[in-house]
Structure formats: C-alpha cells, structure tokens
Amino acid sequence: MANARGKSFIGRFGVHIAVLVFVAVWTIPTLGILISSLRDKDQLIVSGWWTALSTSSQTEAGRLPGASAQVEKGGKFVIEGNIFGDGPARNISAFGTKAAAPTQHQAGEVADLGEGVSLLLNADGSFVMQSPKAFEGDRGQRVYYASSAPPRFTTDNYRTVLFSEGIGRSFINSLTVTIPATIIPILIAAYAAYALAWMRFPGRALLIAVIIGLLVVPLQMSLIPLLKLYNGVGLFFGVPAKTYLGIWLAHTGFGLPFAIYLLRSYIAGLPREIMESARIDGASDFEIFVKIVLPLSFPVLASFAIFQFLWVWNDLLVAMVFLGSGSDQLVLTGKLNALLGSRGGDWEILTTSAFVTIIVPLIVFFSLQRYFVRGLLAGSVKGG
C-alpha cells in the first residue's frame, strides 16, 4: 500500500504532519498532568504547565511584621527582615504599597510612604522600613511586589499524596482488589472454555449462546439485585455486606463471559491431532487440559489477564457499589473521585494523584502491549 499514496514529496510531508498533529492531541493532555505533578505547587497555580521550563513571574502581596518587631536605632524606629520569611527565594523586580500601583517602585529603591516613613525593598526580599515615630498596631504594612522565580521541580507532591492524602493506602486497596479478581476468573474460565470447545455434552450449544448473549449485558442490570443480595447475606450471617471477597466474586462474575468467549475461541483453534493422539495414549480430559491445553494457551491467558487487570484496576462503578468508602476499602479510582470533590482546585494534589492511579496500567500496557493487542483483536472481531 505504500505506493498508493504519498508519492510526491508534499504528500509524504503532509502525512508526517497529520500524524504528528494526532499524536500531539493524544499525548498533550497526559503530558500536562505528568509535568504539573512534578512542579512546585505555588508555580503550578500561577502559570501554565507548558511554561514550566521558563522563569515564572507574578504579582504577589505580603505583609511586613507589625509594631512588635521594631527596634529603635539612632532616634529612628526601624523594622527589618525578609519579606519571604522562610518561603522559597524569588527575585523581586518592583514593588508598591497600593493595590492600584503594585509596581510603583523599582527593587532597591527607597519608597516614601508619607509622614517621613520610608521603605526600602531589595531584589532578594530584604527590607528596611524606617519612621521618625514609633510604629503602632500589630498589622504591619501591606506590600505588593512583582517577583520572578526560576522553574522549580519537586517530588514533594508525590510525598504528600502518597503519605498524607491517603493515596498510598488506596494503592494497596486497589492491588488487593485487582490481583485476586484477575487470577480467579482465569482458572474458572479456562476449564469451562476447554469443556465448551472440546467435550461433547447436551446443552453445549445453548451454553455458548448464553455466554455470547451475556457478553453485552450492561453491568447496570446486575447492580441492584446484587446489592440487595449482598445486603441480605450480610444481614443473615451478621457479616459486613461490603467485603473484598464480595468484590472479587463480582468482578469474577462480570469478567467470566468475556474470558470464556476469548479462551474458547482460542482453545477450539488448537490442532485436533494433538488432542487425539493424547487421547489414544490414554490421557483423560483432565490430563489433556492440564498438560497440553493450558501450556499451549499461554498467550490467550496472558491477553485475558491484562484485560481483566486493566478493567478491574480502572473500574469505579463496581467498587462504589460493592466496597465501602472508608480508607480501608477505598480504591484509587474512588479516592480520585472523592478528591475531585474535596480538593477540586488543588491541582498539585489532583494531577499527582491522577498520575499515581494511571502509572500501573501504563506500565502493564507498555510491557505487555503485544498480548493486549492480540486479545483485543481476538475478542472484538466476532463478539462485542
């Protein structure tokens, strides 16, 4: 097909540009949160992430210390210090004392505030305010200044979300949900798939049709009855209705039709001769399954495992219905959703948390992309 299009230089150039545009649109949003999660939180809120590498400038307001900080020097009352206090150092270019003219004076200039009061503010933030009379009141002078800060990158955001925002705990919860919910259905589906592919028994065709029908049943159909069932079981046995065991089984149930469908079409395609020669050698179905079918099916088992892992890890709905919202059960997606409500504007928390939740799927995805694509092709070309 390479000869069909893009023969001319311009045509070929156009293709490169078009693909570049698509790739840019598809990666820039993710890049945005990755870069933002590594930025200093003060810079994050005042400048776009695409300017992360340039020096950011902003107009800030600060208050000088009150009268209690003054000392008498040579007949004048003086307040000295640094306007940044313990905060990160910035570079001040101009300052002022009125909101209407925040950059009235150059840094290093002495500003006359009237009644003999003068204020000197240097570029590094140190200031000297002098007055012939004693200062009064605890509220110090309001100062506005334009400052510029070099780009700052930090891993502080990650430290914050992992250890004090509860994301670390949710990470463990997500793993607790995902790993069993991935392994259990594989085994159950593999046996069923083998029986549906290679064993003869009445009702087999009907079972296959039911499985294919269930492939597209919306999850929504299951939620209310299962919620009632779980509550009933919990009440009857006096155990909590929302447990990890409950969600493992729920994910197993929801994942089984696809697992059986995917595994059956693969196992049915294994060469008949291998099965038959094993049977002639006296192997039972169980032995054939364990010694021949399982090892040969490794690629499709891997495909399904990746699917199920991603689906369970990324799921929000099932977790919201079948798990509690306490810190011991809240999974990453649920936690992120809760943070969107409670920390709506704190982008350093949100971007960092989002990146923590997507990093595991991205690693799985990139390292096992081959199996993932294979499963996608096998799973969708016929079914849904």
Which stretch, 72-80, 88-96, 125-133, 334-342, contacts other proteins (CB under 8 A)?
334-342
Q: How far is the CB of 4 from other proteins (least distance, A)?
A: 5
Question: Are the C-beta atoms of 347 and 161 separated by less than 8 Å?
Answer: no
Query: How far is residue 266's CA from residue 379's CA, in Å, rounded to a whole number?
Result: 10
With CB under 8 A as the contact rule, which of the stretches 61-69, 82-90, 151-159, 364-372 interacts with other proteins? Answer: 364-372
Half-sphere exposure of 344 (CA within 13 A, CB side): 2
Q: For 96, phi and psi rounded to 5 degrees?
A: -160, 170
What does the angle CA 282 – CA 286 – CA 292 come to, to the nearest 5 degrees? Answer: 80
The CB-of-78 to other proteins minimum distance in angstroms stands at 37
Residue 32 vs 102, nearer CB to other proteins: 32
φ/ψ of 163, rounded to 5, equals: -105, -25
Interface segment toward other proteins; rule CB under 8 A; list 66-74, 143-151, 293-301, 358-366: 358-366
| DSSP β-ladder status, 91-96 and 142-149 | antiparallel
Q: Is 358 helix (H, G, I), strand (E, B) or coil?
A: helix
Helix axes 298-314, 347-367, angle to 10 degrees: 170
Which is nearer to other proteins, 110 or 219 (by Cβ)?
Answer: 219
For the CA atoms of 308, 313, 314, 318, the dihedral, rounded to the nearest 10 degrees, stands at 90
- Structure tokens of 331? 């999974």
Q: What is the amino acid identity at position 282?
A: G
Q: What three-state secondary structure class fits 96?
A: strand
Smallest gap from residue 318 Cβ to other proteins (A): 11
| Cross-strand pairs, 120 | 110, 128
Which of 99, 110, 235, 373 touches other proteins by CB under 8 A?
Answer: 373
Please list every residue from 209 through 228 that binds other proteins, using CB under 8 A: 209-228
The verdict on 313 binding other proteins (CB under 8 A) reads yes
Q: Which is closer to other proteins, CB of 154 or CB of 314?
A: 314
Is 274 among the residues that bind other proteins (CB under 8 A)? Answer: no
What is the C-alpha to C-alpha distance for residues 172 and 175, in angstroms, rounded to an integer? Answer: 5
**Interface pick for other proteins out of 333, 346, 348, 371 (rule CB under 8 A):** 333
Q: Can you say whether the dihedral through the CA atoms of 42, 47, 52, 54 is positive or negative?
A: negative
Which residues within the stretch 233-272 sit at the binding site for other proteins (CB under 8 A)? 244-245, 248-250, 252-254, 256-257, 260, 268
What part of residues 28-57 is at the interface with other proteins (CB under 8 A)? 28-30, 32-33, 36, 44-50
Considering only residues 117 to 176 of the shown chain, the ones binding other proteins according to CB under 8 A are 169, 172-173, 175-176
State which of positions 184-203 bind other proteins (CB under 8 A).
Answer: 184, 187-189, 191-192, 194-201
Shortest CB 111 distance to other proteins, Å: 27
5 lies in the site for other proteins, by CB under 8 A: yes
Q: CA-CA distances (angstroms) from residue 10 to 5, 20, 138, 342?
A: 11, 15, 71, 52
- Binding region for other proteins (CB under 8 A) out of 74-82, 90-98, 104-112, 356-364: 356-364
In angstroms, give the least distance from the CB of 21 to other proteins: 10
3 binds other proteins (CB under 8 A): yes
Residue number, 108 or 383, with CB nearest to other proteins:
383
Q: Are 301 and 289 within 8 A, CB to CB?
A: no
Quote the least distance from Cβ 63 to other proteins, whole Å.
23
